[in-house]
Each structure stands twice: as C-alpha cells, then as structure tokens.
C-alpha cells in the first residue's frame, strides 16, 4: 500500500513551546493536557489486507436509513460474514454512529437507523447496544480521544492554530476565484510569529486547529472498486480544519481517528466519500497509522440517471418495510446494485449471498434502482416461503389496513389471516397485496342499477351488454332463493384451503375438501347449470363469477366465498368499525336481484347469430338458438350431444387445419421471465437451424423441470411478438379444463421426429400432398387460429382432435393428460 511521504515541518522550539502552552491553557478548545496519553492504533506494523476483516458502517443519525446506506451496510456485513464462514472468527462488522453534526443528529434518527438494520438482519458485532473492545461507538462520546490526538498533532508540529476570521477567509476565497484559482486556505497562520500567536491567545481570540499539509505531499490509494487513484494534496485541499473554534472536531478528523483506533481493515462506502479519502489519508499518515483498504461503490441512481432521492419515490428502508417488502428480498436486490456473481443468477438467499459475495466483482458504474425488479425479486422470495412464514407478515398488513381489529378473537384472526394468505400467495408481489386482495374479495362492486354500469370495468360492461350475464345471474338468484346454491360449510369454513391431510393449499387451480365438501358441491352446481343452459367455459364461468363476486375474473370462487363467510360470521375479527366493507352473500343476492331488474330487455338475451349460407352444402342455413337460456338448452342440448364428427366436419366453415404450421418440438432451455410471474421463457428446437424463443404463460401450472427437454407441439406460423418484453415466436399447445384452472401439455408420441409437421386428414391417413401452411402475416391478419381453436379439443381418452378426428404424427396421434379439454 502506498503512503504519502510526510516531510518534517520547520518549527522552532519556541513555537512548539508556545503551542503546548496554548493547548494546555486555552479553554476554547480544551484539548487534553498530556502528550504521553496517546491512543492505541491496533494495525501499526501490520498489513491490513492480511488481518481478520474489521469493517464498519458509519451512519449519520440525521434521518432514516436509505437504500444507499443499506447497501453499504450490507456489503460490509457480507465481508465479515463471508470471512466467518471461511473460519475467521475474529472478523467483525462494526456500527459506528457519526453524530458530530450536532444541529441535525437526533437520538430518534439513530434509533430508527438501528431498527432498520435489525429489520434487514444485519446484526453488528460491535456498536451501540452491544459490547466491544474499541468503544464507545458514538463519535459524540469520543471527544476526549479526538482532543488527545489533536494535541499530539499540535505538539509534533503537524497542526497549528488559525486565527483567521470568516470575513478574512471569504475575502481570500473571492480573490482566488477571481484569479481562476481553486479556493483553499492561504496558510497565513501556518508559520506565524510565536509571540503574535501568544498575544492572540492571551487576548482570548477564537481560533481553529488546522492540519499542516506537508509540502509536495501526494496520497495514492488502490481502490478495490476503482483502481489506483492519486491526489496532489497541497494543490488540492490546502491546510484544512481539524477542530472548529468551538472545540468540536470536524467529520474527516473523527473518521480518520476512529478508523485508526478501531483497527478498521477496509472502508467500503459510496463514491461521494472519495474526496474525503485525501484528508483522512493525510491524517492517518501523520499519526503513523496504516491506512485501511478503500472501496468506493457507485451511487444508486433513479431511472433519470440522477442520484436516488425522495423525488424518485420510496427510498427509506422503513418505507419498504411498511410497503410489504421482505428483508431477505431487500438484501437480495441491494446486493445486485453494483454486484453480480459472474452468472445471470438474480435470486439469492441470505446464505447464498454470504457464500458468493466478493468485493472484486463490484462494478464502478452507477446502479439504477428499478422498483419493478425489486418487486419481482420480492415476489420470488414470497413464493419460496411457507404459509406459516408469510402468515405473520400478512397479519401485520391486515391489522394496518383495518381488515382485522387487534382486539378480535385470536381464532378468527388466525383463520382470516390463513385464508387471505392462501388466496393471495401465488399472486403476491408484496405482503400488502394480501390485505388489498382481501378487501377486494369482501367488497361487492356490482352496481345497484344498470344506469351505473360505467362504474365497472369495460370487460364487465361488455359481458353484461352482450346478454350473456342476465340468464346465468338470474339462475344463481333462483338457486339462492330455492336454498340450493352451495354455500361454505359453517362447521369447517376452511375446507377450500385445506387438503384432506390438513395441508394448506396455495395454488389457485386446486381446492380442498372431499367429495361432499363445499368446493365439490359448487363444481357440481356449475356443471348442472351449464348443462341446463347449454353453456360451458367462459360463457358460463365469467357470468357466474361476476354474479357471485362482483368482478369477472379472480381467484377460485369457493375460496373467496369462504373468506367472505369468515369475515361475516358472528364474532368475526373483521374490522367493521374501522371502515372495512364486507358484503355478505345474502346482501349480494339482493343487490344482484335489483341490478337484474334494471337490465334493459335488449341485454337479457345473447344476440341471435345467423348461420352463413354455404353454396357447397346446397344452401343449408337458418339460425342458431341463442345460448344461455333454458329454452335454448331444450331445443339444442340433445342435438349437440348427438352431433357426430362427420356432422362437425360437414358444417365447419373455418380455415383448414393444415393452414396451421404445427410441429413437434423439444424444449432445450427454459427459465422464468424476470418481470412476469406467469411466463416461462423457452428455447425450442423445431427442426430449424436455430431454436425458437417462445414465451408461455405456464408458470402457474408447471415447474421449470416439467418443461426442460420435454417434447411438445408448437404452432410455428405465428408472427413474432414481444410478451412482457420477451421476443416470442410461436406457441406451445396445451389442453385445459373448462374452468381454466388446470393445464396439461399436448404430447407427441415418444418416437415422433423433432421438426415433423402435425397433420389432420379427417380419416387419420397422411395426405399425399399436405397443403402448405398459411404465411405468418395472413395467418395473423385473418385470425385463423382464433377460428380453428374452438374445434381443437381432447376427447374423453385424452386424444387431441380437430372436428372429432385425431391430430396425427408419423408415429401416431397426439395425446394429453387432460381429457375432455380445450386446446390452445
């Protein structure tokens, strides 16, 4: 490590004697009186790089702990923890409170900063509230030490008193700036006449203590992050102040003394402190104390490339805590603001960070704080946590949001918290989402009257005006009135959330309970309703969901109704007094009944669709009955069930199956999309020179290992487009159930060839000359897949079919584990 050459300053014995008298008698600075009372510098004669790491985080208690300071604390903590993992038990992470700014420092701010460090899990080995051999750990409690060191520097001629007034200093500064020079102290009192100095002291004139920068001094450091940095000290700073005229030490003096006396081996801090290193290095060299190794990390920037501040949104750790972020997710994200482990990996547990972190991989470039990425990382950490681990955090948010009252029964609070956590677990970005979701589930936003329809979402307005809503909703009201609408089991309201073995369910496409439980009863009810009204899929479930919950999409209806029951029952801990809106089922049905009465006649039936005449069929035409009414089901139900595949083929008027370019592919690489919790990103070999990149919304249904190396069917003549920013060129075909809660792959036979095209010939025989698929532009423009998809299904045995005939490869038909499902 390079040190500055500290030249001996010319001072007469008389001048030194005068300064000694000055420092022992002047009350204005009250510096210690014994030259032999020298501090201990633990690293003298040692190489700091070879010693057990002693690192420090030194906050100023003038406000909250912000993300920049939190990252600095984290990096220091990781250094100490990493050394311990490698067997160096003498490594220490030190918290030192730098409260020399008397006007701005407060005990409240100090407590807040320490609480934030505790929340982040950055436990310190030495510092406030802990024991240590190098305390005290507040600069305000180390005044005697600073005076002693200042006395040492004065006695050795490396510092001197300065009687320049503010007016004199300002005049010198203005003259230097007018001459185009950098402002610095002119050295007026550096070699002053000792008799004049004594006269000023005797007169009680105020003075500061200035450090005498050696002539020709240079300071050179080998910064871990930024490499070699050098300063011409004399030209850069001039003689700077160590003690103010009030006797209060200045920041850089305190920092240098503290680093020396605490044996700090490495100083990791933000780049804005880089200029302080020059003064601190000069002081350390003057004291004969080894300099620690320095690492100056880049600033954290906002998206506008300016230093992150309050104007960019939340920046304090406490605010992130209030907003429902996890400490482990914050640690994970903060570590990545300037560091990586050399791979594309972005999700780390705390222990993995300790094992992986290395200051040599910290980047000197500015790091941009990306709130969306933090949310993505937080959502991933939430997914890794168990319900039991997340539950206390959700309870905290439910209480804060006035969903629950603190005085409510513990049993009710527990059950509502579990239900709210299970409902939101898969979609939570922060724990606040669980409370927000619970409030939405308990409310019922369906308007009182059709005239207020503008208050609901556009898709819901469209559904109601299409006529598809009225008859389904009316049937649900009739079922409620007749006492046959399934309702949560009051003896065990938690059924939808629990497997038979008692394990909690977090997947939205899975519900609990046995054959006679509420979820099973609801499924039977919906299936019967669908048959009676000749409806299925979205045409049935969207209107039913809107009628029950007031919105067209969301989580499983039975789970929502169970949470509603928990909040509505007698003795519930729901905070109704605090303003929580809870709309029980009976009230919902009355609102729904009143709303249905206001729907105009024109929106009470699905519009009648004319069947196009087809010349090839000799003018077969007519009209289809409207779906969604019992009248329609009586005239169509039996015919629909009896339709043969030949009838389907004969009446089909859409694009040819072979206009699609469906091929056998193999997923060679798969990973989770960085910003979407629904998308997988895949590279799929479909027999082309390069694998295709495809984004699939399959995260809610599969694990990564389910996709890797899997043989799949890929629709290849879709135009390339971006899904959540990822360029996707194709679609992996899957089969799903009517409720769209379960999805399975469409599988090619094991011996099907990668890249071979799937075909359909009606009779299952390979056509001699298979038609060329439609070009991508034409396929998209004419919405061919949208017209074909309703006729793509799996039969009761799971065989993939189009118009009731199998979809083939050269090795046999394609199949799926999802029987009687739709393919998309």
Cβ atoms of 348 and 334 closer than 8 Å: no
Q: Where are the beta strands (DSSP E) in 645-740?
A: 662-672, 680-685, 692-696, 711-715, 721-723, 726-728, 731-732, 734-736
For 54, list phi and psi in degrees, rounded to 5: -125, 105
DSSP character at residue 720 = P
Cβ atoms of 549 and 444 closer than 8 Å: yes
The single residue listed with the structure tokens 């790089």 is 49
Instruction: Give the angle subtended at the CA of 373 by the CAs of 64 and 732, to the nearest 5°.
Output: 160
Q: DSSP letter string over 548-610?
A: HHSSSS-S-HHHHHHHHHHHHSTT--B-TTTT-----HHHHHHHHHHHHHHS-GGGSSPPPPB
Return d(Cα 264, Cα 93) in angstroms, integer.
Answer: 10
Alpha-carbon Rg of the chain, whole angstroms?
A: 37
The single residue listed with the structure tokens 């490396």 is 158
Which of 461, 611, 652 has the alpha carbon at shortest distance from 546?
461
Dihedral angle computed from the Cα positions of residues 790, 796, 802 and 808, in that order, rounded to the nearest 10 degrees = 140
Record the tokens describing residue 384, joined without a space: 């890794």
* Active-site residue flag, 373: no
Record the tokens describing residue 140, joined without a space: 């305000």
Which of 563, 242, 543, 575 has the alpha carbon at shortest distance from 402?
575
Return d(Cα 197, Cα 205) in angstroms, integer.
Answer: 10
Give how far Cα 784 sits from Cα of 430, 550, 651, Å.
40, 34, 17
Which residue is catalytic, options 215, 310, 607, 719?
310
DSSP character at residue 183 = P
Catalytic residue positions, numbered: 310
């Amino acid at each position: 490590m390079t040190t500055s050459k500290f030249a001996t300053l010319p001072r007469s014995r008389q001048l030194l004697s005068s300064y000694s008298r000055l420092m022992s008698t002047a009350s204005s600075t009250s510096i210690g009186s014994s030259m032999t009372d020298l501090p201990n510098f633990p690293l003298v004669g040692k190489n700091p790089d070879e010693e057990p790491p002693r690192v420090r985080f030194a906050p100023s208690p003038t406000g909250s702990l912000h993300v920049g300071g939190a990252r600095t604390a984290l990096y220091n903590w990781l250094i100490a923890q990493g050394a311990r993992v490698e067997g160096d038990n003498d490594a220490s992470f030190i918290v030192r409170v730098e409260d020399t700014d008397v006007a701005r420092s407060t005990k409240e701010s100090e407590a807040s900063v320490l609480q934030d460090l505790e929340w982040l899990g950055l436990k310190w080995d030495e510092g406030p509230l802990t024991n240590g051999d190098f305390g005290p750990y507040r600069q305000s409690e180390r005044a005697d030490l600073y005076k002693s060191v200042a006395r040492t520097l004065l006695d050795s001629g490396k510092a001197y008193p300065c009687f320049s007034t503010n007016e004199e200093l300002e005049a010198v500064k203005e003259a230097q700036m007018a001459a185009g020079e950098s402002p610095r102290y002119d050295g007026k009192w550096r070699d002053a006449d000792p008799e004049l100095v004594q006269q000023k002291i005797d007169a009680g004139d105020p003075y500061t203590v200035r450090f005498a920068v050696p002539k020709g001094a240079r300071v050179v450091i080998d910064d871990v992050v930024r490499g070699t940095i050098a300063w011409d000290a004399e030209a850069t700073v001039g003689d700077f102040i160590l003690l103010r005229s009030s006797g209060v030490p200045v920041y850089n003096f305190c920092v240098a003394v503290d680093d020396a006396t605490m044996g700090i081996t490495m100083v990791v801090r933000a780049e804005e402190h880089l200029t302080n290193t020059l003064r601190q290095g000069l002081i350390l060299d003057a004291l004969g104390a080894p300099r620690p190794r320095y690492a100056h990390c880049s600033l954290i920037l906002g998206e506008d490339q300016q230093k992150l501040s309050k104007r960019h949104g939340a920046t304090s750790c406490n605010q992130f805590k209030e907003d429902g972020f996890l400490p482990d997710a914050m640690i994970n994200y903060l570590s990545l603001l300037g560091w990586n482990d050399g791979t594309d990996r972005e999700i780390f547990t705390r222990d993995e960070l300790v094992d992986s972190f290395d200051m040599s991989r910290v980047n000197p470039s500015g790091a941009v704080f990306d709130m969306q990425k933090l949310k993505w990382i937080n959502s991933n950490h939430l997914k890794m946590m168990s319900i039991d681990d997340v539950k206390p955090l959700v309870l905290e948010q439910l209480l804060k949001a006035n969903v629950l009252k603190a005085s409510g029964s513990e049993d009710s609070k527990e059950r509502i918290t579990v239900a709210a956590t299970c409902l939101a677990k898969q979609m939570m970005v922060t724990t606040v989402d669980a409370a927000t979701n619970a409030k939405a589930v308990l409310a019922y936003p369906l308007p009182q009257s059709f005239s207020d329809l503008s208050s609901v979402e556009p898709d819901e307005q469209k559904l109601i005006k299409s006529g598809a809503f009225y008859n389904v909703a009316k049937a649900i009201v009739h079922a409620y009135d007749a006492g046959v609408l399934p309702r949560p089991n009051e003896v065990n309201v938690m059924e939808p959330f629990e497997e038979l073995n008692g394990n909690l369910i977090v997947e939205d496409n899975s519900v609990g309970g046995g054959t006679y439980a509420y979820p099973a009863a609801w499924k039977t009810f919906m299936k019967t309703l669908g048959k009676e009204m000749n409806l299925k899929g979205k045409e049935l479930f969207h209107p039913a969901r809107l009628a029950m919950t007031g919105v067209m999409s969301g989580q499983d209806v039975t789970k929502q109704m169970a949470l509603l029951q928990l909040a509505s029952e007698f003795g519930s801990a729901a905070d109704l007094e605090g303003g929580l809106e809870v709309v029980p089922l009976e009230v919902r049905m009355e609102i729904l009944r009143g709303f249905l009465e206001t729907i105009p006649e024109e929106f009470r039936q699905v519009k009648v669709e004319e069947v196009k005449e087809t010349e090839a069929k000799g003018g077969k035409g007519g009209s289809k009955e409207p779906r969604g009414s019992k009248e329609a089901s009586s005239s169509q139900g039996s015919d629909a069930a009896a339709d043969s595949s030949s009838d389907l083929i004969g009446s089909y008027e859409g694009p040819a199956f072979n206009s699609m370019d469906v091929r056998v592919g193999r997923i060679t690489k798969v990973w989770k999309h960085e910003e979407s919790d629904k998308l997988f990103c895949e590279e799929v070999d479909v027999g082309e020179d390069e694998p295709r990149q495809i984004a699939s919304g399959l995260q809610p249904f599969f694990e990564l290992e389910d996709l890797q190396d899997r043989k799949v069917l890929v629709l290849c003549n879709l135009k390339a487009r971006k899904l959540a920013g990822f360029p996707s060129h194709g679609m992996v075909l899957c089969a799903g159930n009517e409720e769209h809660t379960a999805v399975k792959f469409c599988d090619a036979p094991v011996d099907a060839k990668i890249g071979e095209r799937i075909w359909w010939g009606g009779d299952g025989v390979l056509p001699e000359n298979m038609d060329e698929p439609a070009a991508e532009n034409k396929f998209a423009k004419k919405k061919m897949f949208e017209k074909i998809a309703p006729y793509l299904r799996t039969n009761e045995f799971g065989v993939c079919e189009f118009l009731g005939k199998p979809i083939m490869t050269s090795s046999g038909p394609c199949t799926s584990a999802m029987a009687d499902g739709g393919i998309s």
